[in-house]
Amino acid sequence: MSHGVLDDIEKCMESGWSDGLPVIPPYGSLVDPMLEALGWHASDVVGQIPDQSIKVRAEQVAATAVMAGCRCEYAPVLRALALAILDPRFNVSGVEVTTGGASVLVIVSGPVVAALGFEHEANALGANSRINATVGRFAQMLRLFCGKGGGVLQSHGTVGHPGRLSFCIAEHPETAWGPYHTQFGLPAEASAVSIMSSEGPNSCNNHYARTGAAILDTIGDCMMHFGQTAWYYRSSGFVVVIPPDHMALVKPDFTREQARQYIHTNARRQTDDLVNVGRIAIPPLAYAEVELGAMRTPLKTPDQLTFIECGAAGGRFSAVIPRWAGSQSVVCRQIEGI
Amino acid sequence: MSNPKTDKVPAQQLMSCGEVACEVLVNPIPRPELDPIRITLKPKVPRVTFLDHKKPNSLAILQFAQQILRQRGIEVREEILQKDDASIPMPAALLASLSQEPGLVLCGISD
């Protein structure tokens, strides 16, 4: 590598064209093939953020992909991902600027996982694999570059989490309960990318349980600590990550729908305790549906709970990923061309 | 508190210069194509209008602020306007209506 390239990397980092890590400088000779792979022309409008008077053009998306270190062969995933992030339901500016410090959680599922070589086993939530790391980074960079309104808005995340640099999870190609995207109506044989805004993952350790119910109780308890954002608004929900060892106990006793219902019914704590510790506004707003004296679930409805099957065998861990309250939709898009 | 390292507006253009020629790097950052929000910095009439965005305690804080402002002799519009959901942008019709408000508009706060 010439010193000129190193100088350009420094220039990008000093000039606000970076997520804090070194980037591949977006030379035209690299951006053009990425554009071609994405199937767009440079000036095509990929999405808009009307409240910021911003149109996001394909050239900017392609430059971001190059800077994140993505290869052109990832383009079918990147195309679906960019369209999802710029979908108004995702509220990208809200995700970027919130005090909640949310990230874009990217879930990849279906045949694309094996076709492109996503890591879905060891350290599935933080895989040291180029495609996981750079696709996840691309999503966060697009959030950063677009969500700040070209530098007009500021991020106000109080603590944030490491997923704001990269947060991409790939599901096992073979699943016990069906691919992740079937929870959003896509056919099982499809490849898909699903995004949502999220907080960081919480690990759930249970090595000595003998039943699926005990595993689900452990997962449910992880969703119920006082500090969960979900308690008041209950507007978004959780993603539950189940690796093979926990699934081996849960699957014989529960379908996915039954597991969802079980956690919704059993993972509850006393509303008055939440009031006493300050987790319920006084007076509560009507839509928070606070019932004093009753047991309260952090899920408004069971379908706010979704399950992804990934992670390595050999350890009895699961994980719970709380979603951010201010961006309520999961945007799930089919990946074309895989 | 703002951080000058991360909060500065990103560069509009970067050049890569070799010994013979320079190349413009492709700018990854979309910019507003119009002013993002047009505001009048100086109200035309000395009156305050409040907008509640339905976050916890927002309405209580705004009502308290109404009371304090009135005690200080400032005209405050009686009706507190409502935005039904803090997590979504202001509806265009409400934004258009507020843009015609000649006084000062204060939006909801919470917690």
* Chain B, nearest residue to A98 by Cα: B87
* Chain A, nearest residue to B18 by Cα: A4
pLDDT tier for residue A235 given thresholds of 50, 70 and 90 = confident
Query: Which one of B6, B87, B90 would you mutate to disrupt binding with A, by most A Cβ within 10 Å of its Cβ?
Result: B87
Tokens, residue B27: 């700018």
How far is the C-alpha of A198 from the C-alpha of A277, rounded, in Å? 24
- Half-sphere exposure at residue A123, Cβ-oriented, CA atoms within 13 angstroms: 7
| Bond into A283 cis (ω within 30) | yes
**pLDDT, tens only, A88-134:** 999 999 999 999 999 999 999 999 999 999 999 999 999 999 999 99
A56 pLDDT more than 50: yes
* Chain A, nearest residue to B54 by Cα: A285
How far is the C-alpha of B36 from the C-alpha of A213, rounded, in Å? 52
Q: What per-residue confidence (pLDDT) applies to A2?
A: 61
A296 pLDDT more than 90: yes
Q: What is the mean pLDDT of residues B46-71?
A: 90
- B25 part of a folded domain: no
pLDDT tier for residue A282 given thresholds of 50, 70 and 90 = confident
Neighbours of A55 (CB within 10 A): 19
- B17 part of a folded domain: no
Is A175 touching B (CB cutoff 8 A)? no
Write out chain B residues lying below 8 Å of A66, CB-based. Answer: 26
- B57 sits in the region (left: phi over 0; alpha: psi -120 to 50; else beta) called left
- B30 part of a folded domain: no
Write out chain B residues lying below 8 Å of A63, CB-based. Answer: 25-28
B6 pLDDT more than 60: no
Query: Which amino acid makes up residue A207?
Result: H
Pair type for strands A331-334 and B15-17:
unpaired
Q: What is the DSSP letter of A188?
A: T
Beta-bridge mates of residue B51: B81, B107
Determine, for residues B28 and A145 on separate chains, whether the beta-carbon distance falls below 8 Å.
yes
| Nearest one of A285, A230, A223 to A260, comparing CA atoms | A223
- B66 part of a folded domain: yes
Write out chain B residues lying below 8 Å of A52, CB-based. Answer: 32, 36
In angstroms, the separation between the Cα of residue A138 and the nearest Cα of chain B is 11
Domain-wise residue ranges, chain A: 200-322
In angstroms, the separation between the Cα of residue B82 and the nearest Cα of chain A is 13
Determine, for residues B16 and A17 on separate chains, whether the beta-carbon distance falls below 8 Å.
no
Is A56 touching B (CB cutoff 8 A)? yes
Higher-pLDDT residue of A144 and B91 is A144
pLDDT tier for residue A11 given thresholds of 50, 70 and 90 = very high
Q: What per-residue confidence (pLDDT) applies to B1?
A: 47
**Mean per-residue pLDDT over chain B, rounded:** 83
**pLDDT, tens only, A297-317:** 999 999 999 999 999 999 999
| Nearest one of A100, A130, A105 to A324, comparing CA atoms | A100
Q: What is the mean pLDDT of residues A237-253?
A: 98
- Half-sphere exposure at residue B86, Cβ-oriented, CA atoms within 13 angstroms: 21
* Chain A, nearest residue to B53 by Cα: A285
Q: What does the DSSP assignment read for A203-263? A: EEE-SS--SHHHHHHHHHHHT-STT-THHHH--S-EEEEE-HHHHHHHTTT--HHHHHHHH
Q: What is the mean pLDDT of residues A37-59?
A: 95
- B96 part of a folded domain: yes
Q: What is the mean pLDDT of residues A267-286?
A: 93
Write out chain A residues lying below 8 Å of B32, CB-based. Answer: 52-54, 149-150, 152
B21 pLDDT more than 90: no
B43 Cβ neighbours under 8 A, 6+ residues apart: B102, B103, B104
- B80 part of a folded domain: yes
Number of domains in chain B: 1
Of B31, B56, B89, the CB nearest to A150: B31
**Mean per-residue pLDDT over chain A, rounded:** 96
Sheet holding A331-334, edge to edge: A168-170, A103-109, A192-198, A331-334
Tokens, residue A68: 């994140």
- B54 part of a folded domain: yes
Neighbours of A138 (CB within 10 A): 29
Determine, for residues B28 and A16 on separate chains, whether the beta-carbon distance falls below 8 Å.
no
Q: What is the mean pLDDT of residues B27-56?
A: 83
Question: Of all residues in chain B, what percent carry a pLDDT higher than 70?
Answer: 85
Q: What is the mean pLDDT of residues A272-276?
A: 97
- B68 part of a folded domain: yes
Is A328 touching B (CB cutoff 8 A)? yes
| Nearest one of A136, A188, A140, A174 to A160, comparing CA atoms | A140
Give the least confident one: A23-27, A176-180, A216-220, B8-12: B8-12
Domain around B84: 47-107
Give the least confident one: A210-219, A231-240, B98-107: B98-107
Pair type for strands B47-52 and A168-170:
unpaired
SS3 A56: strand
Is A119 touching B (CB cutoff 8 A)? no
Burial of B110 (C-beta count, 10 Å sphere; 0-12/13-18/19+): middle
